[in-house]
Structure 1
Amino acid sequence: MCHVEADLAETVRPGWLSRWETTSRHLTLGKLIGLGRFGQVIQGTLHTPGGETISVAAKSVRRKNAQCYRNFYREAAILVTVHEDEHHNNAHSNIIQLLGLINETSQKYILMEYASKGSLLRLLRHAQKQNGAAPLEHGFLYAVDIARALRELQRLAITHGDVAARNVLITADHVAKLADFGLGRDVYAPVKDVDDDDKNRENMAENEFIPLNWMSVEVLERGEYTCQSDVWSFGVLLWEIATLGQEPHYGGNPHDNPSCLRLARTLRRGIRLRRPPECSGEMYDVMMSCWHENPSERPSPDEVETRLLRLTPGFEMETVV
């Protein structure tokens, strides 16, 4: 079982910031392309010492408080850990590519590759509007990409914690990349701002919309995030692809947000997301295998990838270095 390190920054070799650091004078910022409660992403251009210009997505904190900065440095540390691993290969990896860090007093950015097609969730919902029930081209092949991302994270004993279509980015070449390792959940906060006083901080857990319906039983009950809980969330990602981006819910009112305890009890009774009308029985079997109550009975990312490749004829399996 591969748990996330309590303080992942400590696992990064000394000097990680200096090895990846660049200065703000090399960055030209453009339009805002993503906005959450605690973080924001701006499209920009990075000017390299060699005179090259690279399109980047620059992630920064939205609020200058301790929680935002903890999330910011956690994401930076995870991406550095991935990219400094001796087996990591940017040409084959399905984890969003880190290009640099700006860590100045007034400006702090994580610089990542710019995925021009945006999030998988946006593509799914656009396909829903355009084609009705027609499947999204490349849909389940994107899932193969994310299974490979989870395989890389599992090898490094890193848990993502929020595997979902909203956190998958699609490049111009139709490659899916797993993103949002530190600020992903901020997009579920209510629109109404909450001041940073003690009272409101205590109430934030009650006011925020947490993505419960992507969470495994052990996460709901004990907050236990592992690679196996990521596989559970991956099964929900497959369901999102099959439904062209519908919001998952377990029956009843789709706008009803159950508590952790109530949803955990529902899952303990064996209730799972229903098979989408356009989803094959074989693909639904893959989803159900990800939702085993016992984490050890869920398939590994390798096993999920193999099963998906069997269900997506014409897609050649590449060797990931």
Structure 2
Amino acid sequence: MMHHVRKTLFRFIAMLVVLDSCCAHLDLYLNLQEVKRLLGLSAELYYVRNGMLNEYALNFVVPVPAVMKELHFTWQSLAGRPLPYTIQVDHTAPDAMAPAFLNISSSGMVPTAPQTFSIALPCSGEVSAEVDVVISINVTLNRATNNVTRLNFKRRKICLLGSRHHFPQSNGSTGPGGTLRQGILSSNGRDEEAPAAVYVAISSACALATLLAIALLACYLRTNKSGMHNASLIRESRLGSSSSGGPFLAPAPVLSCGGSSSGSCASSRPRTATSLPSSNPADLHHRIAQLTIQRCRVRLKSVVLEGTFGRVYRGSYTEEDGLEEEVLVKTVTDQASSIQVSLLLQEGMAMYGLSHKNILSILGVSIEDHTAPFLIYPHQGYTNLKRFLQKCKLSPEGVAHTLTTQEVVDMALQIISGMLYLHKKRLLHKDLSARNCVIDDKLRVQIADNALARDLFPADYHCLGDNENRPVKWLAIESLTQRQFTTASDVWSFGVLLWELTTLAQQPYVEIDPFEIPEYLRDGYRLAQPVNCPDELFGVMAYCWAMSPDDRPTFPQLQVCLQEFYTQLTRYV
């Protein structure tokens, strides 16, 4: 399957080609097999073709998934003679990745016939990280005039904790254009070798130390089993279980604001502790009792959204003093089961008692015998955000509304404001998306609950064999694989929502099977940068999708950074 991200990358690199006027007298490209392996496409990708440089491709950072251990390049001198070259590989995280291996020497001659060489990027397995790698190749065209073409290839290698790459030592054979080296190429370009006896000695010492540690640990566990059990209970009572939405406490990362000198994006420790809204039946019954209104005061007018067993109506509610108020009414059809009715009430009451300009809180509940329950919300001209964004797309009738970057950032800031309020109230949303927000004609956004969302937007929810429909393509990796929901997982979903805003509600990962999403994310793949999306805005999204929850920004940090970006945008209006 050709993944959407890979196709988009290829369009950026291969189709939007910007050729430099200088002549490099060589071809340097990724052959058919390498492009297929890296991007999933049947094509060749040229960085230098007939001596002309593809500057755009050279400047693009290509992600390298965790499962890919080495890169391959193909080159050929077009000068009628071999051309001298030097290669150096540098990277940013020595704790995550060891020095690179090459199967050619760090200096030699570019051959006159096509030659493919490889650069291995060995992960240490000690930490998880996204490692920025720069491959520098200098090709000398004329030594007398010091005419040198300098090429820098940027890669971002995904290294995972516990995933260590091993590469065999070279056998000393040679290939065209240079001798096949033995050993490794360090970041400063020097060859490094180590005698086999040293490795044997180190391995033996490590094995002995491991055996001693295991023996000591077993002895300690036997003598302190009860004490450790009690300590574990105390620790769980303090921290709670993240899988059940209990208190969450973790250090927040530093989020760069693209050159801001104010220091306003410094880390904030600790993160806000959060908990799930109560699903206790007694508590739910108490909430419903406090919000119950008479059915005769509600009048249904027109259907706004409709699913298999749920509907959203536009209607009105008449107060006791005779004043009439426009409302939205969520209810179920006759085909709905008791479980679906229970979900409607439980999820619809999640934002009970909240008061914030960016939160759509429930206004009332109407439950009468032998009839479907009504959940009533204030209307105020709001429409579903996902439907609004889809209408903004170009159609034969024209464009309903053309969104500017400034408007998109303002909408994102409103959503952040609502999420800050939710987290301050110790509530997690767990399904933050465009379908669960509403917007009015003045682009005022409110976050809504997810009642009926599975039925009204079935394409956004998938069952992964666990008999539960979940918004798979909006969930953080830990929410997918471990059922962990925290403020950081809400941040991940906000990143996808921001991507929806910039793409006018396109489906994320549209060509990826839902069952493949967890592995796809673990391999380091993410949503591609939307067309016309500024780098600053896409940078915010990318921060939200960090593999580790601790590496993601907090909502206060996102608010500061996007507010600074919004201020910069207003200066040009």
TM-score normalised to the size of structure 1? 0.80
Residues 267-286 of structure 1: pairs in structure 2 closer than 5 A: 267-286=521-540
**Separation of aligned partners in 2, 1:19 and 1:247:** 39
8 A contact 2:332–2:372 mirrored in 1: no
Alignment of 1:76 with 2:348, yes or no, is yes
1:245 to 487, 505, 515: 505
> Measured at CA, do residues 223 and 54 of structure 1 come closer, stay the same or move farther in structure 2, by a change above 3 Å?
same
8 A contact 1:120–1:169 mirrored in 2: yes
| Matched residue SS, 1:313 | helix
8 A contact 2:350–2:449 mirrored in 1: no
What residue identity is the alignment partner of 2:526? R
Q: Quote the residue 2:379 is aligned against.
A: 114
**Separation of aligned partners in 2, 1:140 and 1:205:** 37
Q: Quote the residue 1:27 is aligned against.
A: 298
Residues 1-321 of structure 1: pairs in structure 2 closer than 5 A: 1=248, 2-5=274-277, 7=279, 15-62=286-333, 63-80=335-352, 82-83=353-354, 89=355, 92-105=356-369, 106-129=371-394, 130=398, 135-136=403-404, 138-189=407-458, 205=467, 210-249=470-509, 254-259=510-515, 262-313=516-567
State the Cα deviation string for residues 181-219 of structure 1 (Å, max 9, x = none). Answer: 3322223437xxxxxxxxxx998948x6x5322111011
**Separation of aligned partners in 2, 1:64 and 1:185:** 13
Query: Per-residue deviation at 1:44?
Result: 0.7
> Measured at CA, do residues 189 and 58 of structure 1 come closer, stay the same or move farther in structure 2, by a change above 3 Å?
same
State the Cα deviation string for residues 252-294 of structure 1 (Å, max 9, x = none). Answer: xx344230xx211211122111111211111111111111111
State the Cα deviation string for residues 21-80 of structure 1 (Å, max 9, x = none). Answer: 111111111111111334211111100001110000011123442221221221233121
Q: Which has the larger radius of gyration?
A: 2
What residue identity is the alignment partner of 2:424? R
Point out 4+ residue stretches in structure 1 off by more than 4 angstroms. 8-12, 130-134, 201-204
Query: Which structure features the higher share of helix residues?
Result: 1
8 A contact 1:3–1:227 mirrored in 2: no
Aligned-CA RMSD value: 2.9
8 A contact 1:3–1:225 mirrored in 2: no
8 A contact 1:8–1:74 mirrored in 2: no
TM-score normalised to the size of structure 2? 0.47
Unaligned runs of 5+ in 1: 84-88, 191-200, 317-321
> Measured at CA, do residues 97 and 212 of structure 1 come closer, stay the same or move farther in structure 2, by a change above 3 Å?
same
> Measured at CA, do residues 270 and 222 of structure 1 come closer, stay the same or move farther in structure 2, by a change above 3 Å?
same
Query: Per-residue deviation at 1:246?
Result: 1.6
State the Cα deviation string for residues 81-104 of structure 1 (Å, max 9, x = none). Answer: x42xxxxx4xx4311132211121
Query: Per-residue deviation at 1:140?
Result: 2.2
> Measured at CA, do residues 38 and 294 of structure 1 come closer, stay the same or move farther in structure 2, by a change above 3 Å?
farther
| Matched residue SS, 2:536 | helix
8 A contact 2:428–2:486 mirrored in 1: yes
Identity among equivalent positions (%) equals 25
8 A contact 2:351–2:449 mirrored in 1: no
